Structure 1
């Protein structure tokens, strides 16, 4: 199998130049290193810190675990294919790659929808979910996504090479009834439904915040966390929405005369999705920052974490007091 066979389906355009594939290979390598290291650090801190054992933190860790698999396995396969300038891994690997990336992509948006709904429960109804409930919810999200990801293996559509020629995904250009039905089902049940839950949740949160004043410090923290999750959702949608729109356009119009350079941009954006979550958490979550500084003090020099000025003054005061006491004893 080579990329020329697939590129012929997008008639009027040859395969991407080798130089473009090499550039993509370098970009995917960078994304792989950034996403894998970031998600590994987040998962390490979540596992080692007893203060980050809430239901919310478990759902975020499940999201980061999905990101980790997408970067460490998916982006690695994509990088190998990019430097080879075509899908060199064979048909079976193409199917496995398509299954894995579909499963992880659906898991991410499903988990984000659930996390958004839990923020709605916390801010609007002052209800938090426990760790056990969060584990059950996460497993349900993974099971839901797995059902759709495995469907092509049982004859409902198939996974094929994508326009860029170095990655695989659902058969968007298929004209058979099973291809069309599967693609539309993915778009509506696995993209629009979670997106509707997200929009509903944050609309309710916005209305609640607009009506009341923040009276307690804990309320301010919950709103800050909710805003952090919103940023993560926007980053995810920014990565995947162009890809989803391109796929829906192909499914509806059956227009396969797509410029390969143009079609590669949504694919590239989609592969950026596992990078955002850990670094957004690095920058935004104060409790996570504190635990990072305790467990990974050598990373302070990278300037990844903001230090609360009040907290810094306390630390400085403690250091001065300690030095004065030691000088007194001398």
Structure 2
């Protein structure tokens, strides 16, 4: 956790610093990328730092309300990051495929996207604080998370709703938008001839899309699958270390998100080197 937290904080801070320093990067299409870095930074600052300290002590020593706050903060900022990926996919689809004709992505559109991400994520992460399910200490005893193990039907309804709105929906948006984007690029490539150079942009975007979707799935599918399994079978016996692995693994997304979405972005690289 120390290595993951340190790497995430340094990478995401660098992204925000570079964007702040170079005015050329302050464009509507980059707003959501900076928002993603901010969310990942906050996940590591809250969840990563606390997880390192509590693991060092061997148990969650900060008390009940600190557990609730940590569980809420990590879940909230994590879902903001997830939905930021989905909005990023939609914005790229909007810019390249132009589903609304000549309407271009402007600052107000990007701002609305950010407002949606933070508001929607808050709506689906605050209920456990208010009594619809709860945030509790995990089985390993050093982190806090939604109460997956509860056998109460009231808690089950929240977990299922949370799974649909905060995993299935953003994943669906990502897949649909990038599939349409690849289809559009392939069509443009075929229209402009069969030269190798004509297909180069398509191949580059295709590789990027594959990396994006695979990264999303690798980071969050184990945690999502784990939550559904223990919700459906709350009496299942799992080794606490095995049960904790998906939650810790999902935090690694904050490390490689900046690499995929920023450091592989030629626009950012060129501005940073000038």
Tell me by how many angstroms 1:267 deviates.
Answer: 1.9
Task: Tell me which of 131, 156, 163 is aligned to 1:155.
Answer: 131
Whole-Å separation in 2 of the counterparts to 1:225 and 1:256: 42
The residue that corresponds to 1:197 in the other structure is: 173
The offset of 1:225, in angstroms, is 6.4
Q: 1:109 aligns with which of 46, 70, 82?
A: 82
Query: Structure 1 stretch 201-210 or stretch 222-231: which is displaced more?
Result: 222-231
Deviation at 1:194, TM superposition (A): 1.2
Unaligned runs of 5+ in 2: none
Which is greater in Rg? Answer: 1
Aligned twin of 2:184: 208
Q: Which residue of 2 aligns with 1:72?
A: 45
> CA offsets per residue over residues 90-118 of structure 1, 9 Å max, x none?
11111001100111111111111111111
Distance 1:227 1:135 in 2: 28
- Compute the RMSD of aligned alpha carbons: 2.4
The 5 Å alignment of 1:237-248 reads 237-248=217-228
- 1:94 corresponds to 2:74: no
Q: TM-score, normalised by structure 2?
A: 0.89
Looking at structure 1, the residues matched to 96 and 183 of structure 2 have their Cα atoms a distance apart, in angstroms, of 10
- Which has the larger displacement, 206-215 or 52-61? 206-215
Contact preservation (8 Å) 1:62, 1:138: yes
**Using the alignment, how far apart are the partners of 2:267 and 2:182 within structure 1?**
24
Could you say which residue in structure 2 is the equivalent of 1:274?
254
Answering whether residue 236 of structure 2 is matched by residue 256 of structure 1, we say yes
Q: Cα deviations across residues 255-308 of structure 1 (Å, max 9, x unaligned)?
A: 3301223223212211211111222245411111122223xxxxxxxxxxxxxx
Partner of 1:13: none
The alpha-carbon deviation at position 224 of structure 1 amounts to 4.8
> Can you give the 5+ residue segments of structure 1 that lack an aligned partner in the other structure?
1-27, 295-330
Structure 2 CA distance for partners of 1:225 and 1:73, relative to 1, 3 Å: farther
Aligned with 1:100: secondary structure? helix
- Residues 98/191 of structure 1: CA separation in 2 closer, same or farther (3 Å cut): same
TM-score by length of 1: 0.75
Hey, what's the Cα distance between the residues in 1 that align with 2:20 and 2:182? 32
- Cα 1:54–1:289, aligned 2, differ >3 Å: closer, same or farther? same
CA drift at 1:137: 1.1
Contact 2:43–2:77 at 8 Å: present in 1 too?
Answer: yes
Separation in structure 1 between the aligned mates of residue 77 and residue 176 of structure 2, nearest angstrom: 23
Distance 1:101 1:69 in 2: 8
